Amino acid sequence: MKTNKSFSKRIKVTKSGKIIVRKPGLNHFNAKASRNSKMNKKRSALFVMTNKSRARFLSNM
């Protein structure tokens, strides 16, 4: 099965196999948001996947 390329471009797989993603909601409509909320969204988040979905989306990684 092929790797889902649109999904794989949005994530980073670490050396130990953890999946890191960017938090959503930072593309636009941020002028009214406070600095603290914008800075909190910049931090990456750990993404938990089941083995079934990992095999489906990241088969070649």
Q: For residue 21, what is the enclosing H or E element? A: strand 19-21
CATH classification at residue 30:
4.10.410
Q: What is the pTM of this model?
A: 0.53
- Give 17's DSSP letter: S
* Total of domains in the chain: 1
Most confident of 13-17, 18-22, 34-38, 51-55: 34-38
Range of the domain at 39: 5-57
Residue 17: pLDDT over 70:
yes
Sheet-wide strand order for 45-47: 11-13, 19-21, 45-47
The model's pLDDT over 30-61, given as tens digits with 9 standing for 90+, comes to: 889 999 988 888 877 778 888 787 777 776 65
Rounded distance between C-alpha atoms, residue 18 and residue 10, angstroms: 14
Q: How far apart are CA 34 and CA 26, in angstroms?
A: 12
